[in-house]
Structure 1
Amino acid sequence: MAIRRRTPKDPEGRMPLMEHLRELKRRITVSALAVLVGTVVGWIYYDDVYRHLSQPFRDYKMQNPESIVALNFGNPTAAFSQQISISIFAGLLLSSPIWLYQIWAFIMPGLTRREKKISMAFFAATIPLFAAGSWFGYITLPKALAILYSFTPDEDTSSNIQQTTDYFTFVMRFIFAFGAAWLLPVVLVALSALGVVTGRQLLRGWRPAVLLIFIASAMITPTPDPVTMFLLAGPLVLLYFGAVGIAMLIGRKRQEARPDWLDTPEDQASVLD
């Protein structure tokens, strides 16, 4: 029986293409299994998850008893399909520490030992950031619903009876969008650690970055009011400048580790030749 020899690990984190593909497959498998386990847990506690996600809707009905709003299951399979989608959503949230780590771990082999220490310290904030962003979206949701439902004409013949699937799709996308948006600093630090951008470049481009953050916030938040947009864009701007500081620290450490003989243009040209 032939014994398969393991490919020796490159000290600089380099690996062949097939090894990269096997590593990607392994990361995806682990993430999928974690989501599956989280989905099972979400299915078991479906009633509690349903109650929490529909709480903003019930709060609006209590605050506006004159409004005719209701959630409707449009067909016999709607309740079953809704339980599956909500369970998967709960599974994604519960397993987020695992699949977020798998994404980061796939990038990690390309970093130096010093960059790994810096980036791992910042990655420790990834899970709290995602959780905080999701929670922030959840507590912002009642205001968003109140604004959207306020457009219903105030007449006896008007009502806002919507499909349950539409409501929960809106809620889940809203919460997940806030959680994903708060991962902006992690993405920026990863790009800086990989050498794609530098902290100085991020700092010089803060004006267009802030503009893009507000534009993206306006697109993510489905409400027309500026309050919800600022609730998302404000923390993102602060997180952006926090990521700039970490990126500049990575650049400074990288510059300290740079050999002195590479500082002159002549030496750099000779290396390139």
Structure 2
Amino acid sequence: MSLKEHLYELRYRLGLAMLVIVVGAILGFVWFQVRIGPIPSLGDILTGPYCQPDLAPYRADITKDGRCALLQTKPFEIFLVQLQVGTAAGAVLLSPLWLYQIWAFITPGLYAKERKFARIFVGIGGLLFVAGAVLAYLVVPEGLKVLLGFGSGNWTTALTGSEYISFVITMLFIFGVSFLLPLVVVMLNRAGVVSYARLAKWRRGLVMGLFVFAAIATPGTDPISMVVLAIALVLLFEMAIQVARVNDKRKAKLRAAEGWDALDDNEAAPFDYVASDADGNMPGEKAVASEPAKRVNYDDAT
């Protein structure tokens, strides 16, 4: 494809991705107040941690029927919150569809092995992000209990909708993204940037850094969220270090089997070279029909 055709393809894929996000935003906006069968509404899910029975002594009774509710202190505040949260929820729910459009634009330039590793890392990254978000959702009530418990009964709490929703979304996002850090370590190890020996040597410093990171990254000042995030990251980093250990051991066996270590510094390593065909396709890959090269008139292009 020519540069112009690539730009047209990019515009087409981005247009489809934006259309999917718009549809997801509409679905999320409706879901915010509507139950979908046994699935509670998005508003009920987000207010669930704040409406825990354990937090009832700390909440202000601001409704006539005693329901748990958030405050709206500005005109259209709840509309804007519902729009923002609905858009984010719709984008997450329909992420396989719009991510596929990006993948469809990138994948023609990747080899089969590269596509395989990309699928694996994207799949594992998605699972880790969801696991971090679920952990944050479970931690939020305990963190609120600590934060709202200050004051020895002299204070009562009535949180505004925008501030509370922002706090919960930030917690979910930070926990989810933090759970991707060990995956980055595994990727760097596979790329040969960091080795298991170096990671093992840095283990104490990494643990200390993770606790500092958890203390800075969590939006709340409660110790429960910080400690839970730090412990989870330490466990995940230890798993990543063990994966690096297995990978380095496999590489060492491969080097020993092919005699790389016995080579002189100026001697070429015995790499297995497999030539591609005339169209640049590697063996085992699907052949792509080649087109005659087109002459580009740069004067006309400008």
- Report the alpha carbon displacement of residue 218 of structure 1 after superposing the two structures with TM: 1.4
- Report the alpha carbon displacement of residue 49 of structure 1 after superposing the two structures with TM: 0.4
What amino acid is aligned across from residue 68 of structure 1 in structure 2? Answer: A
- Report the alpha carbon displacement of residue 170 of structure 1 after superposing the two structures with TM: 0.4
Aligned pair in 2 of structure 1 residues 205, 121: CA closer, same or farther (>3 Å)? same
Is the 1:42–1:88 Cα contact (8 Å) retained in structure 2? yes
Per the alignment, residue 11 of structure 1 pairs with none
Per the alignment, residue 234 of structure 1 pairs with 231
Per mean C-alpha deviation after superposition, the further-off stretch among 91-100 and 187-196 is 91-100
Per mean C-alpha deviation after superposition, the further-off stretch among 164-173 and 212-221 is 212-221
Per the alignment, residue 66 of structure 2 pairs with none
CA distance in 2, matches of 1:260, 1:103: 41
1:131 and 2:130 are equivalent in the alignment: yes
1:1-273 correspondence runs (5 A): 6=1, 32-47=18-33, 48-59=41-52, 63-65=55-57, 67-68=59-60, 71-97=70-96, 117=116, 120-121=119-120, 123-152=122-151, 154-155=153-154, 158-254=155-251, 256=254, 260=259, 263-267=263-267
CA distance in 1, matches of 2:9, 2:179: 27
Unaligned runs of 5+ in 1: 1-5, 8-15, 269-273
Per mean C-alpha deviation after superposition, the further-off stretch among 49-58 and 104-113 is 104-113
CA distance in 2, matches of 1:246, 1:162: 44
Per the alignment, residue 12 of structure 1 pairs with none
CA distance in 2, matches of 1:103, 1:210: 36
Q: Tell which structure's C-alpha radius of gyration is larger.
A: 2
CA distance in 1, matches of 2:136, 2:201: 30
Aligned pair in 2 of structure 1 residues 148, 237: CA closer, same or farther (>3 Å)? same
Aligned pair in 2 of structure 1 residues 208, 55: CA closer, same or farther (>3 Å)? same
Q: Secondary structure at the match of 1:129?
A: helix
Is the 2:59–2:158 Cα contact (8 Å) retained in structure 1? no
Q: Could you tell me the percent identity over the aligned residues?
A: 32
CA distance in 1, matches of 2:80, 2:205: 42
Q: Deviations over 1:162-200 (max 9, x none)?
A: 321111000110111111111122222222333332333
- Report the alpha carbon displacement of residue 34 of structure 1 after superposing the two structures with TM: 4.6
Q: Secondary structure at the match of 2:153?
A: coil
CA distance in 2, matches of 1:24, 1:250: 36
Identify the structure with bigger relative contact order (alpha carbons < 8 Å, sequence gap 6+): 1
- TM-score, length of structure 1 as denominator length: 0.72
What amino acid is aligned across from residue 209 of structure 1 in structure 2? Answer: L
Per mean C-alpha deviation after superposition, the further-off stretch among 196-205 and 45-54 is 196-205
- Report the alpha carbon displacement of residue 202 of structure 1 after superposing the two structures with TM: 2.3
What amino acid is aligned across from residue 174 of structure 1 in structure 2? Answer: M
- Report the alpha carbon displacement of residue 46 of structure 1 after superposing the two structures with TM: 1.1
Unaligned runs of 5+ in 2: 34-40, 62-68, 269-302
Is the 1:42–1:90 Cα contact (8 Å) retained in structure 2? yes
Q: Deviations over 1:252-273 (max 9, x none)?
A: 55552796457432337xxxxx
Aligned pair in 2 of structure 1 residues 141, 75: CA closer, same or farther (>3 Å)? same
CA distance in 2, matches of 1:128, 1:220: 21
Aligned residues: 251
What amino acid is aligned across from residue 40 of structure 1 in structure 2? Answer: I
What amino acid is aligned across from residue 132 of structure 1 in structure 2? Answer: A
Specify which structure has the higher proportion of helix: 1
Is the 2:195–2:248 Cα contact (8 Å) retained in structure 1? yes
- TM-score, length of structure 2 as denominator length: 0.66
- Report the alpha carbon displacement of residue 145 of structure 1 after superposing the two structures with TM: 1.1
Is the 2:29–2:83 Cα contact (8 Å) retained in structure 1? yes
CA distance in 2, matches of 1:146, 1:125: 33
Is the 1:189–1:246 Cα contact (8 Å) retained in structure 2? yes
